[in-house]
Amino acid sequence: MVFLLQYIYKLLSTLSIKLGTGDIAKYPFLNEASDYIRETHFDFEEFNRPEMRHIINRAAERMETELISGTIYQKLDKYEVEILTFLVTLMVAKYIGIGLILKKYSLFEAMRAERFLSEDLKKERNEQRKHLLLSKIFEELFKVTVDVDSTDNRLFKVRVTDYLMRASHFHEQEWKLINRLVHMGYVYLDAEETVRLIRSELSTLIYNRVKSMTLSTFPETIKLKADELRVKLVPKYEHSIYRVTGYYPPCIRHALKVMNQGENLPHSARLMLATYMLAIGKSIDDIVILFHNAPDFNEKITRYQVEHLAGTKGSHTKYSVPSCEKLRNENLCFATEECSGIINPSQFGRNSKNYNG
């Protein structure tokens, strides 16, 4: 009987607890934010009104901070402002239409949300609100169940399989399962670590929001701002895009293409790219820039790894480019006729030169 009453009480109290407007301001990708836009019957043409200039400037400021300075935008305003600002940034990204810029912006927005979320999880004293946040973001959006540890509410637990599906793609050693507390099918994490797990899904979510956006026309004010921004962004992003020329062997061309689209490359492909670029005499700096476009780019780690391959760090052995045979086995080979007679990508193009004298 007592149990039943407790249960009913719990049920009632969760029903009465809802996401606050403050949450929607921090997490404007939540379904609740889209609901808000719909319910207020907001018309995109309203962005052309002078009162909206503030929002549009703010959106541009946010994108510049993240895409040019490379830092997370910190400001947080009222939810009405935040929802609209976010919406404008998405429209601008759509209008600019460069996949790489969108990828990068999505990643920064994911990290911005990540920061708010781990703060919230650390500070929130009300257990029910904490659960609500967890279920709204982790469960509803990504089908990951996160529980608060019953003895220590600073700790969160996730199923070991949910953990592995994500963390096994991270490169840092501390994310290896063996360096985690694992017990009875759960991995125990602190707030930051828990939130880090879904970074790439969050950024994919934002990316897809933009991709699936269907807009027949853009408000003039947004077009103007987007053009302004494009002028500032393109040189920066063109610089980091290695041009995919006919000069590289097909395997390298393919990997560069994937990389330039901001997709995740498997470790074996990164190794191939880095050793190849070293072999043809690119500098370590240039190679580090090349990996800028990887969704999980971390300058320090990448530099260390490239230096290691170059033999300037660690074991002091210089790594050579994997053979064509090895690359074929790893499904990284995309051989064309030009590849005939070579056994290592670094030989590509040399043979023909020899023939022509």
The contact set with ligand SF4 (CB under 6 A) reads 249-251, 324, 327, 333-335, 339, 342, 345, 348
CB of 51 to ligand SF4, least distance (A): 57
Query: Can residue 53 be called a binding residue for another protein (CB under 8 A)?
Result: no
Query: Can residue 161 be called a binding residue for another protein (CB under 8 A)?
Result: yes
Work out what residue 2 binds among ligand SF4, another protein, none; the CB cut-off runs from 5 to 8 Å by kind: none
Q: What is the CA angle 294-295-298, rounded to 5?
A: 75
Question: Do 29 and 86 touch, CB atoms closer than 8 A?
Answer: yes
Measured CA to CA, the distance from residue 167 to residue 173 in angstroms comes to 10
Query: Can residue 257 be called a binding residue for another protein (CB under 8 A)?
Result: no
Question: Do 185 and 159 touch, CB atoms closer than 8 A?
Answer: yes
Cβ proximity to ligand SF4: between 208 and 331 the closer is 331
Mapping DSSP onto H, E and C, the string for 35-101 reads HHHHHCCCCHHHHHCHHHHHHHHHHHHHHHHHHCCCCCCCCCCCHHHHHHHHHHHHHHHHHHCCHHH
CB of 266 to another protein, least distance (A): 9
Measured CA to CA, the distance from residue 44 to residue 248 in angstroms comes to 45
List binders of another protein among 174-203 (CB under 8 A).
174, 176-186, 188, 190
Please give the single-letter amino acid code of residue 21: T
Query: Can residue 329 be called a binding residue for another protein (CB under 8 A)?
Result: no
Q: Which of 49, 53, 154, 318 binds another protein (CB under 8 A)?
A: 154
What do you get for the CA distance between the two ends of the chain, in Å? Answer: 94
CB of 210 to another protein, least distance (A): 27
Query: Can residue 248 be called a binding residue for another protein (CB under 8 A)?
Result: no
Query: Can residue 207 be called a binding residue for another protein (CB under 8 A)?
Result: no
Question: Running DSSP on this structure, what letter comes out for residue 248?
Answer: S
Residues binding another protein (CB under 8 A): 152, 154-155, 159-161, 164-165, 167-169, 173-174, 176-186, 188, 190
